[in-house]
Structure 1
Amino acid sequence: MTQATLLRQIIDYSSRADPYPLYAELRKTPVLQEGDDLFVVSTYWEIKSLLHDPRISSDARNLSPSAAGTLLQEEEEASALPPAFLRLDPPEHDRLRRMTMRPFGPPETPRRVHNMRGELARIVSGLIDGFGDRNRIDVVDDFSYPFPVTVICRLLGVPREDEALFHSWADTIAAGLDPDPGQDPGERRRVTQQARTELGKYLSGLIDERSGAPGDDMLSALVTQHGEDGQMTRMELLSTASLLLIAGHETTVNLITNGMLTLLRNPDVLERLRGDPGLALPIVEELLRFEPPVQLLPQRTTLADIDINGVTIPKGASVWLVLASGNRDPQRFPDPDRFDPDRKDNQHLGFGSGIHNCFGAPLARLEAQLALTELARRLNSPRLVEDPPPYRQNAVLRGPRHLNITFDGFHA
C-alpha cells in the first residue's frame, strides 16, 4: 500500500465499515503530505497540538487559491446562510459562541442540560415502549434517530411535526461535509444550495414567530437576548439555528448507534451495563474514543508556516485532522484497538479539543448514557442481524445507516 493512496482509500465508501487498519497505516507518517497543499495529520499529540494552535484556521476563506480548489466556489454558491461559528475564527467565533452558550449552559444557564434528564428519560422509555410486541427493530430508524431529533426540537422550540421537512435538508447539508460525495460536484452544489435555502426560509419563519411571542426555548432566547455582546443579526441567527438543529442530532445519532453496535459486539460489557447503570458514563467516554461519531476534520487552514513532527506545513495549506486515528494512537492509549470501559486517563478527541470543542457535548453525553442504559436494561438477549451493518456514505460523520437487531422480548 503506497502512502499516496491512503487518504483516497480512507474516504472511499468500501472502507467505511472498518477504516481503522488504514488509520494504523496512516500513523506511520504522522504528517502526510498529499499533493502540494494538503497535509493529513493522524497522531494524537500532533492533532491535539494543532487543535490548540491559533495559527490553524477553521475559516475556509483563508485557504490559498491552489489549496482551495473548488471548495470556496462550492461554499459561496451553496451558502444561502453565512458560515456558522463552527467555521469562524476569533473574535467572531468567540462572540457568537458566547451568545449561543448563554441559554444553553454555564455560566448563565448552568443547569439546563441537567434539568432535562427526567424529560430525556421519558422520551427514551416512550420510544422503547413503542417497539410494542416486535422482536426486531432498526435501532437507527426506531430509536437513535427519533430520540435526539425530539430532544433538539424541544430544546430549540422547533415543532416536532416539522421533522419530515428538515430531515431531508439536514441530510443533504450534512452530506456536503463528505470529501467523497459520490456524485457530480455541480449537482451537489445545486442540491446543497437548495437545502440551505429551504432551511433558511423555514427558520426565518420561526424567528419571526419568536420575535412576536417568545417562549422558554433556546431560539426565543437567541432572538431576544441583549447582552454585553449585543444582539445577533438575522443572518447570524439563521446560521446559528441551522447549526444547532443539524449538529444537535446528526452526531448523537451516530454516537448512540455506534454505541449499541459496539455493545452487541462486546456482550460482556452489555451485561455489565444491564446490572450497573453507573457504568454508562465510562462506556460512553470509551465509545467516543473507540468509535467517534466525527472521524475527521477536513479543510483546516494554516495562517502561518507551522513546523510539526519534522514537517513544515506552509501558510495557506489545507490540513485534515483525523481524530479517529488519534484516538487509536498506541503512543497515547495502551492497547488502543480494544474496547475497554475501564480505561484510565481517557482524554480522547471524540469531541475535538480547543476553542472548537463540541458545543453540545454535555447533552450528547447524557443522551447516549440514558439511551444505552435503557436499551441494555429493557431488551432481552439483543443480537445483530448483520455485521457489519450498512453504513452511511459520509466519511466525516461515520455511523451505520441501519442497525437491525432481534431480541427475545423485554426484561421486567
Structure 2
Amino acid sequence: MTQAILRQIIDYAHRADPYPLYEELRKTPVYHDADGPYVVSKYYDIRSLLHDPRISSDARNLKATAADPLADKEEETALPPSFLRLDPPEHDRLRRMTNRSFGPPHCPRRVYDMHGDLADIVSGLIDGIDTTERVDLVDQFSYPFPVTVICRLLGVPREDEARFHSWADTIAAGLDPDPGADPTERAKVSNNARTELGMYLAGLIEERRKKPGDDMLSELATAPGPDGAMTTMEVLSTAALLLIAGHETTVNLITNGMLTLLRNPDVLQRLRKDPKLSVPIVEELLRFEPPVQLVPQRTTLADIEVRGVTIPKGASLWLVLAAGNRDPDRFEHPERFDPDRGDIQHLGFGSGIHGCFGAPLARLEAQLALSELARRLENPRLLEDPPPYRQNAVLRGPRHLPIACDGIRP
C-alpha cells in the first residue's frame, strides 16, 4: 500500500463505493507514508483517540504538509472558530453555553417540542412533489428539509426563510466545489454569502437582545449563565456551525438512508408497516453509511503509541470513522445492512468531547423523513444506481437521488 490510497479515498472516482479502500486501509491500522498524515482505521483505536486529550482539534496547532491531500481545504471566514475547532477550556465553555439553549438540563424539551413542526415540514415537502415520473429526492426533499428546520430552531422569521435558504445553498456549494469551476470565483461567491448571512444574523441577534423570543438565537444572545454571556461574534460563529455542520450532515444522512432502503426493499416494506422501525434503521445507517466519513486535520500534542506505532507530537492525524464502522473486529458481518443488530455502537456521530452536538435533532429529522417517505411513496424505485455523488470526500452523500414512484399517498 502506498500514499496513493489516500489519494484514492478522496478521488471522486471512488466516491460511490469507498468501502473496498477502507477494507484495504484496515490491513495497516496505523498507516503513514513519508510526510503525510497518520491514518487510523480500526474501530477501537479511533474511539480511544476521539477521547484522548492529547489529540487537538484546534486548527492553530496543525502543521499542514504538502503530502496531506486534505490540507488547507477549509473555507476561510471572518468569524472566530466554532467550538468544533477548539480545544478545552475554550471548547468546553462555548459548548456548555450552547447546550444551555439546546438540550437538558436547561432546555430539555427544545428538540422534543419540535416534533410537530418537523412533521409539518416533511408533509409539506412531500405534498409539493408535482410529478412522480422523476423525483430528485435531494433537491425536492432532503436538501430543503434540514435548512428549514434550522431556520425554525434559530427563530428566523418565516418571511426571511427563502433568503436564508439561498445563503445556505451558496455556502454548501463552496463546501462541495465543481472541479471545473474557477476556485477564485467560487471562494468569492461563498465568502460574499457568508458575509451577507453574518450581517443578517448580527441584525437578528440585536433584535433578539432587545425583544427575546422562545427561539435558540434569543437564548444564545441573552441567557446569562455561570460562564457569562456569549459575545456577538461567538453567537454568530455558533449559529454558522449549526447551519453548516448541521445542514450538510443531515442532508447526507437522509439521502444515504433512502438510497440504502431502496437497495433493501424488504427493510423499506417493514418500515412502511412499522414507523417505529425508523429508530434502529437510522442507527444502523449511521454505522453503515455515515454522513461524515472521516475526521481529518487533527493534531497530536504529544507522542502517542497506537498498536506499536509512535505517532509523534505535532503530526497530522486522520480518523476514518467509516472504516471503523465496518471493522469486522467490532461488528459481525459489517458489510451487511441490518437494523436488527442488537448492538449498533457506531462512530457516525463521533465520540468524546467533540461528539455531534446536534445528534438528537439529526436523529429525529432522519426518523421522521424516512418513515414518512416509506409510508407515502407508492412503489418507489431508483432511476440511477449509483447516483451522482457530491465531490466532498469527508461529507459523503449523493448530490442527486433520482427516483420514480407510482403515486403519493395522503
TM-score by length of 1: 0.93
SS at match of 2:107: coil
Paired with 1:290 and 1:161, the residues of 2 have a C-alpha distance of: 38
What residue in structure 2 maps to residue 15 of structure 1? 14
Superposed, 1:257-296 pairs within 5 Å as: 257-296=255-294
User: What one-letter code is carried by the residue in structure 1 that aligns with 2:213?
Assistant: G
Superposed, 1:370-389 pairs within 5 Å as: 370-389=368-387
Paired with 2:304 and 2:114, the residues of 1 have a C-alpha distance of: 43
Which of 363, 366, 379 is 1:365 aligned to? 363
**CA separation of 1:320 and 1:90: change in aligned 2, threshold 3 A:** same
Which of 221, 224, 244 is 1:223 aligned to? 221
Which of 315, 340, 343 is 2:341 aligned to? 343
SS at match of 2:366: helix
User: What one-letter code is carried by the residue in structure 1 that aligns with 2:55?
Assistant: I
**Equivalent pair of 1:11/1:179 in contact (CA under 8 Å):** no
Paired with 1:297 and 1:167, the residues of 2 have a C-alpha distance of: 27
Which deviates further from its counterpart, 326-335 or 185-194?
A: 185-194
Paired with 1:36 and 1:178, the residues of 2 have a C-alpha distance of: 26
User: What one-letter code is carried by the residue in structure 2 that aligns with 1:5?
Assistant: A
Paired with 2:46 and 2:78, the residues of 1 have a C-alpha distance of: 32
Q: Deviations over 1:192-228 (max 9, x none)?
A: 5444333322221221221222211100111011111
**Equivalent pair of 1:259/1:287 in contact (CA under 8 Å):** yes
User: What one-letter code is carried by the residue in structure 1 that aligns with 2:403?
Assistant: I
Shift of 1:151: 1.0
SS at match of 1:14: helix
Paired with 1:314 and 1:180, the residues of 2 have a C-alpha distance of: 36
**Equivalent pair of 1:37/1:66 in contact (CA under 8 Å):** yes
Which of 313, 316, 319 is 2:317 aligned to? 319
Paired with 2:60 and 2:216, the residues of 1 have a C-alpha distance of: 30
**Equivalent pair of 2:286/2:346 in contact (CA under 8 Å):** yes
**Equivalent pair of 1:120/1:367 in contact (CA under 8 Å):** yes
Q: Deviations over 1:235-254 (max 9, x none)?
A: 11111111112222211111
Alignment gaps of 5+ in structure 2: none
Q: Deviations over 1:170-189 (max 9, x none)?
A: 45555666799777776665
2:72 equivalent to 1:57: no
SS at match of 1:78: coil
2:212 equivalent to 1:214: yes
**Equivalent pair of 2:144/2:165 in contact (CA under 8 Å):** no
**Equivalent pair of 2:151/2:164 in contact (CA under 8 Å):** no
Alignment gaps of 5+ in structure 1: none
What residue in structure 2 maps to residue 154 of structure 1? 152
Which deviates further from its counterpart, 87-96 or 151-160?
A: 151-160
**Equivalent pair of 2:138/2:399 in contact (CA under 8 Å):** yes
**Equivalent pair of 2:37/2:68 in contact (CA under 8 Å):** no
What residue in structure 1 maps to residue 44 of structure 2? 45
**CA separation of 1:36 and 1:68: change in aligned 2, threshold 3 A:** closer
What residue in structure 1 maps to residue 298 of structure 2? 300
**Equivalent pair of 1:13/1:393 in contact (CA under 8 Å):** yes
Which of 91, 110, 118 is 1:120 aligned to? 118
Task: Say how many residue pairs are matched.
Answer: 410
Shift of 1:234: 1.6
SS at match of 2:110: coil
What residue in structure 2 maps to residue 81 of structure 1? 79
**CA separation of 1:219 and 1:248: change in aligned 2, threshold 3 A:** same
Shift of 1:138: 1.0
Which deviates further from its counterpart, 19-28 or 131-140?
A: 131-140
**CA separation of 1:269 and 1:122: change in aligned 2, threshold 3 A:** same
What residue in structure 2 maps to residue 396 of structure 1? 394
2:175 equivalent to 1:202: no
Shift of 1:411: 3.7
User: CA RMSD, aligned part only?
Assistant: 2.5
**CA separation of 1:386 and 1:249: change in aligned 2, threshold 3 A:** same
Superposed, 1:225-264 pairs within 5 Å as: 225-264=223-262
Paired with 2:68 and 2:292, the residues of 1 have a C-alpha distance of: 24
Shift of 1:134: 3.6
